[in-house]
Structure 1
Amino acid sequence: MKKLIAEFIGTFTLVFFGCGAAVIAGMGTGPTAIDVLGIAFAFGLAIVAMAYGIGPISGCHVNPAVSFGVLVAGRMSVAEFIGYVIAQVAGALVGALVLYLILSGKTSGWNGGLGQNGWGAGYLGQYNTTSAFVFEAVATFLFLVCILGSTHGKAPVHFAGLAIGLTLTAIHIVGINVTGVSVNPARSIGPALVGYGTNPAAVGQLWLFIIAPLLGAAVAGVLFKSGLLEPDPS
């Protein structure tokens, strides 16, 4: 239960800070406005904070794709994986709901957005489905390589959280204009479902933000499970 509570809080924090930066600070003007770099660091720093806050409890997956990669790598059981995913999706939903409650109190200027992921005509850089799928799969693969490598027993201790958070920041800098960056099915599910009333198209596009990250994570997990990315015995 401790692990599930930790995963709930961690995923809540990621959505609240990351998506919150996009839709609250991102709507500002002048000194209150932030750009892609600011949003990217909000997501990355949220992971750094939670890595040190809940990492000793649950490992700070806060992402079904991360848990799936860990599962494929042989580092957790199927039962643990299912519990983690339920807690992560619940945390993302509540995080998006809290953002909705805050933003609904804005007297004007809010279009109902909650930082939903997407692609295609009318969405940020207007990239097509192939571009979106390739980005999400490749970015998640690289993210899992960092996570599985930096949390290995032979990796330098105490630096995993920083490495993982900075990697997520870099992923956002590259990919926000493509898909808004998911690499995390829970992060996509929460805002899409809570914001369905104003942006139903986001729910219709959720399949990509579930399948592509899981695929990328699985490839990384297989490489570690097979020993191809495991360090040689000392």
Structure 2
Amino acid sequence: MTNMQKGLAEFIGTFWLVFGGCGSAVLAAAFPDVGIGLLGVALAFGLTVVTMAYAIGHISGCHLNPAVTVGLWAGGRFDARDMPLYIAAQVAGGIVAAFLLLYVASGNPDYSVAANGLAANGFGEGSPGGYDLISGFTIEILLTAVFLWIIMGSTDGRAPAGFAPLAIGLGLTLIHLISIPVTNTSVNPARSTGPALVVGGIALQQLWLFWVAPLLGGLVGGWLYRTVGADAGAKPDIEGD
């Protein structure tokens, strides 16, 4: 695959993750009487990854997340020379998705981005459950590291073939079930950047955490699996194969 094909695949995949996941929270979770709730939002994020893993895993590896790209590099599965392309495409996809989601949500006269938000991440005042910076930082590092462990383990050449997208999608669902009350769940700087740029204010001020913590978690998770798993026979550069 060419770099253009890989970059476009990452752009489209990350667009789908942010529009589908954040869209479920903004458009469906708060819908009167039939809102999908926390469980529905968590499933929506997981399903975006499952569907795109099958759709573009063979093109770009379906990273959809700068922390995954960095973690796969730390795990010996990805070439550092391709990291800027992937991360730029992921962030761009997340930003476009957030602005398009705002456009759709604004079609409801009762919607206000100031009052209703756009599924932005946060801690303290920005946390759904009022969790502080330390709690948010800790859980974002921990869950991103676990996410990388799931990704690298399920795509290991010794793992059962064909099930990686399901393991990864279900893993992301569980991560959201755990941490939506804490930070609204990031584990993905691209997912956080789009909504923060749209909402501004405290979401933009706190965006730094949702870059630093997931990237650290990705590095830890990738390095840990490379060290403990000793996956010499693993397939390179694949999240969704």
TM-score > 0.5, shorter chain as reference: yes
Structure-2 residue corresponding to 1:124: 128
How far has the Cα of 1:110 moved from its partner? 3.2
The corresponding residue for 1:160 is 164
Distance apart, 1:232 and its partner CA: 8.1
Partners of 2:149 and 2:66 in 1: CA distance: 15
Q: TM-score, normalised by structure 1?
A: 0.94
Q: Distance in 1 between matches of 2:187 and 2:13?
A: 16
The answer for the alignment partner of 1:62 in structure 2 is 64
CA contact (8 A) 2:69 2:86 kept: yes
Deviation readout 1:141-173 (Å, 9 max, x if unpaired): 100000011111111111000000000000000
The one-letter code sitting in structure 2 at the alignment partner of 1:170 is L
C-alpha deviations, 1:41-75, integer Å up to 9, x for none?
00000100000011111110000000000111121
The answer on whether the counterparts of 2:126 and 2:203 sit within 8 Å (CA) in structure 1 is no
- Moved >4 Å (runs of 4+): none
Alignment of 1:144-155 (within 5 A): 144-155=148-159
Matched, 1:230 2:233: no
- Does residue 115 (structure 1) correspond to residue 116 (structure 2)? The answer is no
Specify which of 173, 177, 197 is matched with residue 173 of structure 1: 177
Cα 1:217–1:110 change in 2 (3 A) is: same
- Identity of matched residues, %: 51
Structure-to-structure mapping, 1:83-232, within 5 angstroms? 83-112=85-114, 113-121=117-125, 123-196=127-200, 200-226=201-227, 228-231=228-231
Q: Distance in 2 between matches of 1:34 and 1:193?
A: 25
Structure 1 unmatched ranges of 5 or more? none
Distance across 1 between alignment mates of 2:175 and 2:8: 27
Q: How many residues align?
A: 228
Which residue in 1 is equivalent to 2:11? Answer: 8
Is 1:18 the equivalent of 2:51? Answer: no
Aligned to 1:80: 82
Structure 2 residues not aligned, in runs of 5+: 234-241
CA distance in 2, matches of 1:98, 1:164: 26
Give me the whole-angstrom Cα distance separating, in 2, the residues matched to 1:121 and 1:30. Answer: 27
CA distance in 1, matches of 2:37, 2:126: 19
Letter in 2 for 1:214: L
